Structure 1
Amino acid sequence: MKKIITILTFVVLFAFAIVMLNQPGIEQMYAKQDHLHAQKNTGLKQVQVENIKQAAETNDEDDITHEEIVKLTDTFMELLVQEIDDHYKVEQFDTKEELLNAFEPYVVKEAVQPYIDYYYEEKEDGLYIVPTETPPWFEKKEDYKKESEDNKVRITQSNENELYGPYTIEIVFEKVDGTWKIANISHE
């Protein structure tokens, strides 16, 4: 009886491993991480951070530009998908709090906290990413609706992909101390 249970356990674990490895999009996550690693090595990430700050400071209007929207949404996703080792341990941050602080110049805490809680697990020896797909997200080359009101801009975009099918994402940007930040994210 013990042999049968042991064999069944191995079969189930093996099947689970195959399903996880063949899950669509895992390659995309690794490709994104490779892209981030390349950016880190060439210093492009720091240039991008400076461009976001400059764009926010030079925008005298009360309306966010398309370029600022793209920079903030791209930066959000680049920070969300961290570089990891072979065991999914995050290389750059040890705690959720450290990762949360990295988002601070671009996203209000309440908007990013649910993503960090969902995609990351904190253990005694560090921070680990939960291997899964990235959320449905803003597509910079697609049209979107933009509504402005009192230092806030709401964009709404409808997209479709193989993983999520049709979805609508809504992102609210808020001007905080003269700088645009992502203030809320929702999708259906």
Structure 2
Amino acid sequence: MKAFLALCLAVMLSFIIVPNIPENVKEKSGASDKIITQPVTAEEKKEKQAVPEFTEDLAKKQANLFIEALKQETDENYRVLNYSNKEEYMTYLTKFVSKNLAAYYTDGLFEERESSLYIIPTELPPWLEESEPVIIKQLSDHSYRVHQKNESDLYGSYKITLGYEYLNGKWIITFASVD
């Protein structure tokens, strides 16, 4: 019996100490009802904010901004003028793509030597063409895949797939595949 009473007391105290109050609670105050709003953390507010619509124009614009960011001004020896190392350059690229994609393209197209960043003379990779249609597949509210078939003199026929995710308040490319 003592154990049962102790258990009941513990359960009742848990409801008093840690109340489970919904965000909006109605309070009766005489003739009128009023809504009491519980405080919402910054993280909860961020989660509740609507994710901007993902569109074909947004996908193409983001892809174009990234491919343009890969083009860097260099001197006659291919030394990049605006960035001094890969880490600094990758930080810039993360405006458009994930850290993993920034590292992948930076490692393939640039090298560090003599305390400077150098571009490896080569063609840009096959990429999304703004003038061609795309197929968009929604994976979730925060994730999409964009597919496009292209043809170029350099690469022939190819299919590109880009993955987009809404992270840290913006749409970025998190996945790229060329077949």
Displacement of 1:159 = 0.3
Cα distance between partner residues in 1 of 2:99 and 2:51: 25
Displacement of 1:125 = 3.3
Residue aligning to 1:154? 145
Q: TM-score, normalised by structure 1?
A: 0.66
Cα distance between partner residues in 2 of 1:100 and 1:157: 26
1:183 aligns with 2:174: yes
| Offset from partner CA, 1:71-121 (integer Å, 9 cap, x none) | 211111111111111110000000000100001222111122111001001
| Structure 2 stretches lacking a partner, 5+ long | 1-49
Structure number, greater radius of gyration = 2
From 71, 84, 87, the counterpart of 2:74: 84
Verify the 8 A CA contact 1:146 1:156 in the aligned structure 2. yes
- Write the letter of the residue equivalent to 2:96: Y
Verify the 8 A CA contact 1:145 1:156 in the aligned structure 2. yes
Verify the 8 A CA contact 1:137 1:169 in the aligned structure 2. yes
Q: RCO (CA 8 Å, sep 6+): is it higher in 1 or 2?
A: 1
Aligned residues: 130
**Once superposed, what is the RMSD of the aligned Cα atoms?**
1.6
Residue aligning to 1:131? 121
Verify the 8 A CA contact 1:63 1:148 in the aligned structure 2. no
Higher helix share goes to which structure? Answer: 1
| Structure 1 stretches lacking a partner, 5+ long | 1-59
- Report the identity percentage: 35
From 110, 116, 121, the counterpart of 1:120: 110
Displacement of 1:184 = 0.7
